[in-house]
Structure 1
Amino acid sequence: MKLTTILKSAAVAAVIASPAFAETVLRVQTHYAPETVSGKLAGQFVDDIQTMSGGDIKIEMFYSSSVVATVEAFDAAANGILDCDMTGGAYQTGKNPAFQFVGDIMGGYDTPYQQLSWLYYGGGYDAAQALYNEYGMQLIGWWIYGQESMSSSKPLNGPDDLKGWKFRSPPGLETEIFANLGASPIVMDFTEIFTALETGIIDGADASGLANNVGLGLYDIVKHATFPGFHSMPSDHFACNKVVWDGLTPAQQRIIDTAMQKLSLQTALTFEKANAEAAAKLRADGVTLYDWSAEDRAAFREGAQAAWEGWAQKTPEARALVDSHKAYLAQLGLLAN
């Protein structure tokens, strides 16, 4: 038998005898439904990772908090039930108030680009990473859809309309700010909003951006909303179990990081267009949109930034993050006077 034939036979035998290709599977949960704008963007994120990795990384995405409640996704990833959490840091303020300032810096930045610039160029990433690592997680990045719109069964023309207004609120700083303004915030899971509005348990909701709220069907029930938003701009995060993340190859980590940065940009750009389109359609459908005056917006920002100080005193990590934001916001001219 010729040497080349022997070598070819040996190579084929080695392939047959080798173990099957082992792909890396990451189990990820998001609170967004797949039909919302954010859900579709998350789907593209999954496709980007799987395509760029050539199938080396597979993402098993669980939408609409289908494995655990939204607020439990972080712990589920840290404990190995999931691998990664695609909700947001503001849901974890019960662990450490500092999470408020990597989740929803209320009354802070005006645009997603400003907020992302703090993370990548304002010292935010290192400060945030220390907090995440303390709880066994690795922050990969943010995807920010812009200012949220409050949805309501009643008019929301300004601060006076908040008096006695019962609304769904995420946990954390927001409940304090709005309670001080006379509203009645009720903390509930993201997935419970539609039913609570439908049954009249709440008058309104702080859920998401305008286009996402349309995808959730909120304006089939209520006919009032704030737009453009001003009060809240959550940093939805992609965060993974640190052991799982450290176990990925540098190439796999780079692929995920690159896909995340694409998701960040595409989320901001997509929602600029999607929110404008949603606003035009909602007006045509009889939904009233309220654009608060500059004075009312300034009053909210001043109240929110004053409330930061109470939270900054809760833990050293919160103090550090508040100081970091204030220094960067001062550079941008966004600190309340």
Structure 2
Amino acid sequence: MKRRELIGAAGLGLAALGLSACKQEEQQAPASAGKPEQQRFEWKMVTAWPKNFPALGTGAQRFADIVTRMSGGRLTIKVFAGGELVPPMEVFDAVSRGTAEIGHGAAYYWKGKVAAATFFTTVPFGLSAQEMNAWLHKGGGQALWDEAYAPFGVKPFACGNSGMQMGGWFNKRIDKVEDLAGLKIRMPGLGGEVLAKLGATPVIMPGSEIFTALQTGAIDATEWIGPYNDLAFGLHKAASYYYAPGWQEPQAVLELLINQTALNQLPDDLAAIVVEAARSCNADMLDDFTFNNAQALQSLKTEGVEFAQFPDEVIKALRTASEEVLDDFAAQSDLGSRIWASMKAFRAQASELSALTEQQLYNWR
């Protein structure tokens, strides 16, 4: 009996040692042992902006940085400024072809390829930034935007907003409607078509070319964005008058373009990160513009910039021409008609609300 007890005790001891060794091995093994390696993605982002340009370029970089952090490095995005990989005006094509998985620009730059795209940046005398976000995210605007880009294999998202812009820089005074006739002005989108209707010649060029064109007289006037970005470009050194308000762009959506095939290849959690990062950067850029425009305005005042406002007669003519241009433009396609009808209906509703709320606040202040 004593011999059997001794053998049994030894067996129990060996078993205990085995269990202990197993536990030590488990503790020493990496946490990922036995788990499949998570797939990693490396994307290229092409933009329409100069490298690290305030709000626009830095906003695109911020999006890339947020996605990298939120994904733990599983999705990294290398940002290319306009002209580094593709020219600024070819961002849409690059994303559509898959040359880059993602892009950042403004929808009205692709009007020649997707006519309805211009609605999704801004329209003259249109929605404010707050109203545009509401229409896109709650009022059916996003579905219409998706429909416009789907034939090109591109998925769009709002990823920034300039807020209310300025009317632009001019080297001659605009005292009456006739002063617009023959004016060569850099203005993309439907705003340019409105000016053409009143006798001006709209010119489309990337932001990086504006200063030289204005300084050399290749153009007589330009709109860009507002004090923050206009000061960064030094436009006050190339023009005599700074006009307000920005009738042509009461806000401007900056868009994220994603190749649909590339987006479909992402697992659900990474796709969700991309969507939420875009929403975050959409809000952050508007904050950036609102704060820094106020600061830059003071800087321009100290530089002696001469501020001017369009006369009521000019604004009235611009508004009348805008409605005609928008109605004619929308009528060119079923999609355009549906987009403008939806936006116009929401503008009417939002105008009633703002007349009772924000407009009164601004008047009181």
CA contact (8 A) 1:142 1:264 kept: yes
Deviation at 1:60, TM superposition (A): 0.6
Q: Map 1:117-128 onto structure 2 (within 5 A).
A: 117-128=134-145
User: Are 1:224 and 2:253 an aligned pair?
Assistant: no
5 Å-filtered alignment, 1:28-107, equals: 28-33=45-50, 34-107=52-125
Looking at structure 1, the residues matched to 297 and 244 of structure 2 have their Cα atoms a distance apart, in angstroms, of 8
Kindly provide the amino acid, as one letter, of the partner of residue 290 in structure 2.
E
Residue 116 of structure 2 aligns to which amino acid in structure 1? A
Alpha-carbon contact 1:219-1:287 (below 8 Å) kept: yes
Cα distance, 1:87 vs. partner? Answer: 0.5
Q: Are 1:108 and 1:305, in contact at CA under 8 Å, matched by a contact in 2?
A: no
For 1:134-283, what aligned pairs fall within 5 Å after superposition?
Answer: 134-149=151-166, 150-156=168-174, 159-170=177-188, 172-232=189-249, 233-283=251-301
Give me the whole-angstrom Cα distance separating, in 2, the residues matched to 1:301 and 1:250: 45
The alpha-carbon deviation at position 190 of structure 1 amounts to 3.1
Find the aligned partners of 2:23 and 2:319 in 1 and give their Cα distance: 76
Whole-angstrom distance in 1 between the partners of 2:125 and 2:332: 19
Q: Which residue of 1 aligns with 2:12?
A: none
Greater displacement, 307-316 / 89-98: 89-98
Report deviation, 1:180: 1.5
- SS of corresponding position for 2:165: coil
Q: How many Å separate the matches in 2 of 1:282 and 1:156?
A: 20
Supply the AA of the counterpart residue of 1:186: V
Cα deviation, residue 154, structure 1: 2.7
Give unpaired runs (5+ residues) of structure 2. Answer: 1-17, 353-365
Kindly provide the CA deviation profile for residues 218-254 of structure 1, in whole angstroms up to 9, marking residues without a partner as x.
2232232223422213221001000011111221122
Partner SS, residue 191 of structure 1:
helix
Give the AA of the match of 2:41. T
Structure 1, residues 291-321: CA drift from partner, whole Å, max 9, x if none? 3356644542332122111111211111111
Given residue 348 of structure 2, which amino acid in structure 1 is its aligned partner?
A
- Mapped to 2, the partners of 1:158 and 1:115 lie a distance apart of 31
Q: Per the alignment, do residues 152 and 67 of structure 1 end up closer, same or farther by CA in structure 2, a change over 3 Å counting?
A: farther
Contact 1:112/1:144 (8 A) holds in 2: yes
Partner residue in 2 for 1:313: 331
Cα gap change, 1:15 to 1:115, in 2 (>3 Å): same
Per the alignment, do residues 156 and 213 of structure 1 end up closer, same or farther by CA in structure 2, a change over 3 Å counting?
Answer: farther
Q: C-alpha distance in 2, partners of 1:220/1:227?
A: 18
Cα 1:161–1:147 shift into 2, 3 Å:
farther
Contact 2:47–2:104, Cα closer than 8 Å, also in 1 = yes
Question: Rg larger in 1 or in 2?
Answer: 2
CA distance in 1, matches of 2:313, 2:136: 29
Change in 2 beyond 3 A, CA 1:187/1:41:
closer
Q: Is the 8 A contact 1:156 1:225 kept in 2?
A: no
- For residues 31 and 270 of structure 1, do their structure 2 counterparts lie closer, same or farther at Cα, with a shift above 3 Å needed? same
Q: How many residues align?
A: 330
Residue 281 of structure 1 aligns to a residue whose secondary structure is helix
Letter in 1 for 2:308: Y
Aligned mates of 1:308, 1:327 — CA distance in 2: 14
Paired letter, 1:307: V
Q: Distance in 2 between matches of 1:207 and 1:255?
A: 31
Cα distance in 2 for partners of 1:79, 1:89 equals 17
Q: CA RMSD in A?
A: 2.6
1:23 maps to 40
Residue pair 1:26, 1:57 contacting (<8 A) in 2 also? yes
User: Highest relative contact order (Cα 8 Å, sep 6+), 1 or 2?
Assistant: 1
Using a 3 Å threshold, how does the CA distance of structure 1 residues 157 and 208 change in structure 2: closer, same or farther?
farther
The answer as to whether partners of 1:70 and 1:190 remain within 8 angstroms in 2 is: no
* 8 Å Cα contact 1:147/1:231 also seen in 2: no
One-letter amino acid of the structure 1 residue matched with residue 268 of structure 2:
P
3-state SS in 2 of match to 1:333 = helix
For normalisation by structure 2, the TM-score amounts to 0.82
SS at match of 2:222: strand
The percentage of aligned residue pairs carrying the same residue is 26
